[in-house]
Amino acid sequence: MNTVPEARPMDVVLDAPRAAAQDAPPIVELRGVSRRFATSLDFAAKLAKRLGVKVREDVVHAVDGVNLSVRKGEVVGLVGESGCGKSTLGRMVAGIMPPTDGTVLWHGRDLKALSGAEARQAKLRTQMIFQDPYASLNPRLKVAEIVGEAPAFHGLVGRGGLDDYVDEQLRRAGLDPALKRRYPHQFSGGQRQRIGIARALAVQPDFLVCDEAVAALDVSIQAQILNLFMKLRRELDLTYLFISHDLGVVEHLSDRVVIMYLGRVVEEAPAEEVFARPNHPYTRALLAEVPRIEARKRAFAGVKGEIPSPLNPPPGCHFHPRCPHAFDRCRVERPALREIAPGHRSACHLNDAA
Amino acid sequence: MPPTLEVRNLRTHFFTRAGVVKAVDDVSFAVDRGKVLGLVGESGSGKSVTGFSILGLVDPPGRIAGGSILFQGQDLAGLSEEEMRRLRGNRIAMIFQDPMMTLNPVLRIDTQMIETVLAHAKVSREEARQRARDALGQVGIPSPEERLRAYPHQFSGGMRQRVAIAIALLHKPDLIVADEPTTALDVTIQGQILAEAQKLCAESGTALIWITHDLSVVAGLADDIAVMYAGKVVEEGPVTQVLDAPLHPYTVGLIGSVPSRNHRGEPLRQIPGMTPSLLNLPAGCAFRARCPRAEARCAEPPPMAEYRPGRFARCIHPYEEAAAA
Ligand SMILES: Nc1ncnc2c1ncn2[C@@H]1O[C@H](COP(=O)(O)OP(=O)(O)OP(=O)(O)O)[C@@H](O)[C@H]1O
Ligand SMILES: Nc1ncnc2c1ncn2[C@@H]1O[C@H](COP(=O)(O)OP(=O)(O)O)[C@@H](O)[C@H]1O
Ligand code: SF4
Ligand code: SF4
Ligand SMILES: [Mg+2]
Ligand SMILES: [Mg+2]
């Protein structure tokens, strides 16, 4: 039997890192990670409290007991609706926000236990890219300074070589180095995102956490930036956590998809698998509502009900007030995230029925 | 009978200190009873200004510099501010991306809705209240009686948008202009609102203009589509024909950029370059610096032409057959 598969040239390029990621060691691993915020009291409430009135300080459960690992070389897409905790989870993965409970392992080692120098290393090698690059670019610095500041400070490049080094980062991000004496406000949204990417690349990261990095861009510019992310992945062997509310973008880019609802991971699987065989009722509802350009004059329905407040999440399965299949157990017991097929995990009591 | 709305050669320009911004520059389209027109384009292409022009909401330094806006055959451009006010919120309504453009943060929902009813209808307060309650129920707000007594900040974003839609529905208008009303909402909530919009057109015969940058929403919702680029409609026609067999190179590029139109993991077909500034736009086709089919003739302004029955494009060199989009 001939076992050599017919290779299409495109597959060779794209599937190589994907296959490698299967058993690669995790770059980051979260174990039982939660993050809570105390909502700050407004003035009236503070005053009332001081006067002895009982005021409940509300606690937001932004992330609630999440296990997640990102292996070297893979692109993990993180999706979910507004307020479900994607950005909070992303910040903890990037090591810029400590969890309230649980452990974040970086290359197998507890982030909290790293020495000063190691912690700095960890921070440099993981970079975040945000939705609004403008807010994260210092308006008073020229592009060359924005991109060159960190590598110069951390001694990644000598003073003499800095100019060339900055040019190389800009070229990589698809910007003409001739523009490097300009200020951020002189650029369009897409170009600013490229500046943000050049700045991140300048410290030689191996892991990028992109939080809605293309959400603010027009489709035609979004396509350019997505292509850039894919090109950089191949050239620099990068690993990504790609946070987005746009399922089309996530489907296109990711090897593995993680779906969150109200602070918890409800489903996790290889990308093809999630889109072909969604298991969790929330995932299925979400996929049914995504507008598709292929659909013509379709009947929309919407998922009934509102997204509940994380201040006061429903007991049991967080999705039960909106779930068409909810039964008694769902209202009291949190469903565990369980493997239902190789690499495919889902948190729903229905899977226990069999 | 004339169509509910017919816009002919509309020009809305902003006379700024830096120069004339031709935000809307020769835009024509029509929308009929019970139909949905999707007005699509990228940011800055002139979609919102087109919507504001229809409602008579363009403020200086902007003004309508030419063309006509025929509502049930009557030219709105010729109406006085007072006559326009009477139509607005009554026969013609607008829904904005930010529902707080419609809602007053310091007033209870019932106060706002009752005032809106009384502004255009001679009915008792009690009847106005009843209408408000019905409208909230119609857009799927649970326990409308209770909700009437709430303030806008007590609602989620999706609920607020539904209240704004309910207000737009109060007088069963003949035309609604909806400007990106679901762009800030999550898909499961967007689905609810799109469902309401569909029901509305089907049941009350309202004509709807749905402004969006999202081709996928238009694909599922609209009957016709008009694609804007740099202040002009560059392509127009029935949704299926425009999306399946686009004529204009910009439309082809836009559809090709949508991730689901590409093979997973492969580079997306992207449009090179970026949208030009509308300030001092050079003559000729505004897309030519980015167009793969551009030629010398494109330096002349291309006219809008009907290439197939009902299929218009503003291009001298359109794709003849279904392009690989
Ligand atoms: N610093 C903070 N203080 C208080 N609450 C916070 C803080 N940061 C986040 N939250 C709350 O935690 C929850 C999750 O927020 P997060 O920003 O992670 O959501 P998200 O999934 O990224 O949403 P979006 O899609 O809107 O960006 C929200 O309810 C939010 O209001
Ligand atoms: N008040 C104004 N003054 C000057 N230019 C304006 C004003 N309002 C809009 N414009 C310009 O008109 C063009 C079209 O804007 P708009 O209709 O809001 O775009 P869209 O809704 O398609 O994103 C843009 O170039 C914008 O900058
Ligand atoms: S656990 Fe119950 S409520 Fe939750 S998704 Fe499954 S069936 Fe629905
Ligand atoms: S007129 Fe010319 S430049 Fe403009 S879209 Fe057509 S082919 Fe391209
Ligand atoms: Mg976020
Ligand atoms: Mg707009």
Residue A132 structure tokens: 């609004």
Tell me, yes or no, if A297 comes closer than 8 A to chain B by beta carbon. Answer: yes
In one-letter notation, the amino acid at residue B301 is P
Nearest CA to ligand 3 atom 1: A348
Residues B216 and B252 in one domain: yes
Q: Is residue B222 in contact with ligand 4, taking CB distance under 6 Å?
A: no
Q: What confidence score (pLDDT) does residue A229 get?
A: 96
Instruction: Considering every ligand atom shown, identify the ligand nearest to the alpha carbon of residue B40 and give its number.
Output: 2
Residue B192 lies in a domain: no
B178 with B115, same domain? no
**Which ligand neighbours the alpha carbon of B39 most closely?**
2
Q: Quick one: B53 and B84 in the same domain?
A: yes
> What pLDDT was estimated at residue A41?
61
Residue A294 is predicted with a pLDDT of 87
Q: Do residues B178 and B285 both lie within one domain?
A: yes
What is the overall mean pLDDT for chain B?
92
Atom of ligand 2 nearest to the CA of B231: 14
> Is the distance from the beta carbon of residue B294 to the nearest atom of ligand 4 less than 6 Å?
yes
Same domain, B41 and B157: no
Judged against a pLDDT cut of 80, whether residue A302 lies above it is answered with: no
Average pLDDT score over residue span A63-86: 94
Q: Is the CB of B313 under 6 A from ligand 4?
A: no
> Quick one: B143 exposed, middle or buried, by C-beta within 10 A (0-12, 13-18, 19+)?
exposed
Ion ligand 6: residue ranges with CB closer than 5 A: B 48
pLDDT at B187: 86
Q: How confident is the model at residue B197 (pLDDT cuts 50, 70, 90)?
A: confident
Give yes or no: residues B211 and B303 share one domain: yes
| pLDDT(B325) > 50 | no
pLDDT over 70, % of chain A: 88
What tokens does A167 get?
């040019």
State how many domains chain B has.
Answer: 2
B267 touches chain A (CB under 8 A): yes
Best of B43, B162, B270 to substitute, by most chain A Cβ atoms within 10 angstroms, is B270
- In tens, the pLDDT along A222-281 reads 999 999 999 999 999 999 999 998 999 999 999 999 999 999 999 999 999 999 999 999
- Residue at B198 is within a domain: no
Tell me the mean pLDDT in the region A54-79. 89
**Count of A–B CB contacts within 8 Å?**
150
Peptide bond into B61 cis (omega under 30): yes
pLDDT given for residue A10 in this prediction: 38
More confident residue, A173 or A14: A173
Q: Is residue B245 part of a domain?
A: yes
pLDDT at A180 over 80: yes
Ligand lying closest to the C-alpha of residue B46: 2
With a Cβ cut-off of 6 Å, ligand 2 is lined by B 14, 16, 21, 23, 41, 43-49, 62, 278
In this complex, the residue of B159, B194, B243 whose CB is nearest that of residue A293 is B243
Residue minimizing CA distance to atom 6 of ligand 4: B315
pLDDT of residue A45: 65
With beta carbons under 8 A apart, name residues in chain A contacting B220.
Answer: 291-292, 295-298, 300
Contact B3, B31 (CB under 8 A): yes
Q: Is the pLDDT of residue A4 over 50?
A: no
Nearest CB to A289; choose among B190, B198, B261: B190
What is the full DSSP assignment across A182-214?
Answer: S-GGGS-HHHHHHHHHHHHHTT--SEEEEESTT
Q: What is the CATH number of domain A26-353?
A: 3.40.50.300
Q: What is the Cα–Cα distance from B22 to B46, expressed in whole angstroms?
A: 9
Report whether pLDDT(A53) > 70: no
Do B140 and B227 belong together in one domain?
no
Q: What is the mean pLDDT of residues A113-133?
A: 90
Q: Are residues B227 and B300 located together in one domain of the fold?
A: yes
Q: Is the pLDDT of residue A17 over 80?
A: no
Give the contacts of B263 (CB within 8 A, at least 6 positions apart): A10
Report yes or no: B258 at the A interface, CB cutoff 8 Å: yes
Q: If you measure CA to CA, which chain A residue comes closest to B264?
A: A252
Run of H or E including B53: helix B47-55
Mean pLDDT, to the nearest integer, of B261-284? 88
Same structural domain for residues B163 and B215? no
Q: What is the pLDDT of residues A97-106, one digit of tens each?
A: 999 999 999 9
Choosing from B144, B170, B196, the residue where a domain stops is B170
B75 within some domain: yes
**pLDDT tens-digit series, residues B90-103:** 999 999 988 999 99
Which atom in ligand 4 lies closest to the alpha carbon of residue B292?
8
Q: What is the mean pLDDT of chain A?
A: 88
B188 touches chain A (CB under 8 A): yes
| A55 pLDDT more than 80 | no
Q: How far is the CA of A181 from the centre of ligand 2 (A)?
A: 29
Point out the ligand 4 atom lying closest to the alpha carbon of residue B293.
7
Please, which pLDDT band fits residue A3 given cuts at 50, 70 and 90?
very low
Size of chain A in residues:
354
The CATH number given to whatever domain includes residue B309 is 3.40.50.300
- A227 contacts in B (CB within 8 Å)? 267-268, 270
**A254 Rama sector, left if φ>0, alpha if ψ -120 to 50, beta otherwise:** beta
Are B82 and B110 members of one domain?
no
Q: Does A287 touch chain B (CB under 8 A)?
A: no
A188/chain B closest Cα distance in angstroms: 9
Examine the fold and report which residue of B112, B146, B170 is the final residue of a domain before the chain moves on: B170
Overall average pLDDT of the A182-208 stretch: 92
The arithmetic mean of pLDDT across residues A45-67, rounded, is 78
Confidence (pLDDT) at A58: 77
pTM of the model: 0.88
Distance from CA of B4 to the nearest CA of A (A): 21
Q: What is the pLDDT of residues B15-67, one digit of tens each?
A: 999 899 999 999 999 999 999 999 999 988 999 999 999 999 999 999 999 99
Distance from the CA of B309 to the center of ligand 4, in angstroms? 21
Quick check: A274 contacting B, CB < 8 Å? no
Establish if B81 belongs to a structural domain. Answer: yes
Condensed to tens digits (0 to 9), the pLDDT of residues B77-123 reads 889 999 999 999 899 999 998 899 999 999 999 999 999 999 999 99
Other CB atoms within 10 A of residue B31 CB: 24
Q: Are the beta carbons of B2 and B70 closer than 8 angstroms?
A: yes
Q: What pLDDT was estimated at residue B104?
A: 92
Whether B197 is in a domain gets the answer no
**Is residue B282 situated within a structural domain?**
yes
Chain A touched by B154 (CB under 8 Å): no
Which tens digits make up the pLDDT trace of B216-265?
999 999 999 999 999 999 999 999 999 999 999 999 999 999 998 899 98
Domain with B83, as residue range(s), is 5-91+174-185+205-259+270-324
Q: Are the C-beta atoms of B169 and B200 separated by less than 8 Å?
A: yes
How distant, in Å, are the alpha carbons of A38, A90, A93, A153, A257 from that of A242?
A: 27, 9, 12, 28, 9
| Alpha carbons A180 and A166: distance in angstroms, whole number | 9
Q: What is the mean pLDDT of residues A63-92?
A: 94
For residue A33, the 8-state DSSP code is: E
Q: Say how many Å lie between the CA of residue A11 and the centre of ligand 1.
A: 38
CB contact under 8 A, B257 and A188: no
C-alpha closest to that of B225 among B38, B45, B33: B38
The model's pLDDT over B202-218, given as tens digits with 9 standing for 90+, comes to 888 999 999 999 999 99
- B39: closest CA among B312, B199, B239, B303? B239
B52 and B180 in one domain?
yes
Whether residue A111 contacts residue A105, with contact meaning beta carbons closer than 8 Å, is answered with yes
Q: Which of B36, B187, B215 to mutate to test the interface with A (most CBs of A within 10 A)?
A: B187
Q: Are B258 and A248 in contact (CB < 8 Å)?
A: yes
> Checking phi first, is residue B111 left (phi over 0); if not, alpha (psi -120 to 50) or beta?
alpha
Task: Write the residue with the smallest CA distance to atom 12 of ligand 2.
Answer: B23
What sign does the CA torsion over B196, B202, B207, B211 have? Answer: positive
Which residues are within 8 A (CB) of B207 and not within 5 positions of it... i.e. 6 or more apart? B3, B4, B5, B31, B32, B33, B34, B35, B37, B174, B175, B176, B201
Which residue's CA is minimally distant from atom 16 of ligand 2? B46
User: pLDDT at position A203, please?
Assistant: 95
> Is B285's C-beta closer than 6 angstroms to any atom of ligand 4?
yes
Q: For residue B88, what is the DSSP state?
A: B
Asked if the model's pLDDT at residue A7 lies above 50, the reply is no
Contact (CB<8Å) A295/B243: no
Does position B185 have pLDDT exceeding 60, yes or no? yes
The two three-digit tokens of residue B13, written as one number: 């320009």
pLDDT number for residue B193: 85
Q: Calculate how far, in angstroms, residue B302's C-alpha sits from the geometric centre of ligand 5.
A: 43
pLDDT of A196 strictly over 60: yes
Residue B273 vs residue A344, higher pLDDT: A344
Q: What is the pLDDT of residue B321?
A: 60
Q: Indicate the pLDDT class of residue A308, thresholds 50, 70 and 90.
A: confident
| Closest to B72 in 3D by CA, of B1, B120, B176 | B1
- Confidence (pLDDT) at B183: 82
Cα-based distances in Å from A85 to A82, A88, A262, A326, B156: 8, 5, 7, 23, 17
Return the amino acid letter for B195. A
Q: Under an 8 A CB cutoff, do A251 and B156 touch? A: no
Cα B242 from chain centre: 17
